[in-house]
Amino acid sequence: MIVRAIPLDLSGAAREVAALDMRRTLDPTHDIVFKLLFAAPASRDILASLLTAVLQPSSPVLVVEVRNPEVLREQVTDKAIVLDLHVVLADGRFLDVEMQAQKRPAFRERAMLYWARLYASQLERGDEFTALRPVISILFLSYLEADTQMLHDAFGVTSLRTGHLYTDVLQLHVVSLPFSAHPDEATRQGEPKLLAWSRFLAAETDEELESARMTDPMIAKAQQRLEELSADPKVQELVRLRKLARAVERMEETARREEWEAEARARALEAEARGEARGEAKALRETILALATALGVEVDDARRGELEALTPSELTALRDQLITERRW
């Protein structure tokens, strides 16, 4: 594989960072701000309030420890770093709490991997499996996924046939913050506390933050903490660096995708040219096979049989799908 440097116009990233800094207070859906807001020892009560609103236990959540409260400067520009919170509750359960501001590829798979790592990290060599405690992942999303229908959804391990709970060691809670703009739905779910917290987290203006803080003393305390963070030059610099790194990352991804698409089109045209004299359908089949090889898409006997049965128009549609969507 040949790796080439991709030229980037960093002025675009700088403009994006400047646009994101228009509000007086920092955005709590930014992963650094979210972590600094809730992970500090002085924030245990507001973190407990937020978690209680999500989990709705019979008694309020008691937070014993946040195992990874620090945000290191060298982490903020590392795109592989996830600034989630690893929380231990008084009843022994572990929580992985994450704020996700932008939709990213394979996010669900990544969330399950992080759950698995936290679950497995409990045991040392020789420990009994009975020592394992449940791990709960809580994902705050500031965007809507295609199949999301509510403010708060929860998932577990249940029978596909009867719905019977197989084990309680895995729980996954997804809070879709855009639904905070639809209070009727959240009210129907009977989660006014979570609705209030979601409005605070999703607020786009200082006026919306001020309105949210009036609904609950813990949210008012969170707002005060947010204002303190927003006034801290060190925090401002961390956020600026993180935003710039993310903006550059997105620009690199776009440049790589455009480069790949151009190469795929060129290969397709070459294959079509080679097969032109051998008939349209045969040329299209060769083009599709060349694209599949370039994409790493497996072509088994069933797919080869499918190719032989398709008409030229169907082959053209499949070729275009491979180019634009990179899937068969």
* Separation of alpha carbons 196 and 186, rounded Å: 10
Query: What is the predicted pLDDT for the residue at 209?
Result: 85
Tokens of 81: 């770093």
DSSP 174-200: EEEGGGGG-HHHHHHTT-HHHHHHHHH
Q: How do beta strands 94-100 and 135-141 pair?
A: parallel
Q: What is the pTM of this model?
A: 0.69
Tokens of 210: 């001020």
Q: Could you give the angle at the alpha carbon of 177 between the alpha carbons of 172 and 181, nearest 5°?
A: 140
* pLDDT tens track for 273-299: 655 545 778 888 888 888 888 777 888
* Separation of alpha carbons 157 and 311, rounded Å: 44
* pLDDT tens track for 257-278: 777 777 777 777 776 665 554 5
DSSP 225-259: HHHHHHT-HHHHHHHHHHHHHHHHHHHHHHHHHHH
1-10, 105-114, 141-150: range with lowest mean pLDDT: 1-10
Length reported for the chain:
328
Q: Is the pLDDT of residue 106 over 90?
A: no
Strand partners, 63: 89
* Separation of alpha carbons 136 and 310, rounded Å: 48
HSE of 258 in the Cβ direction (CA atoms, 13 Å)?
Answer: 9
Mean pLDDT value of segment 141-153: 88
Query: What is the predicted pLDDT for the residue at 176?
Result: 94
Query: What is the predicted pLDDT for the residue at 199?
Result: 92
Most confident by average pLDDT, 21-35, 64-78, 115-129, 235-249: 115-129
Residue 183 — very low, low, confident or very high, per pLDDT cuts 50/70/90? low
Mean pLDDT of the chain, nearest integer: 83
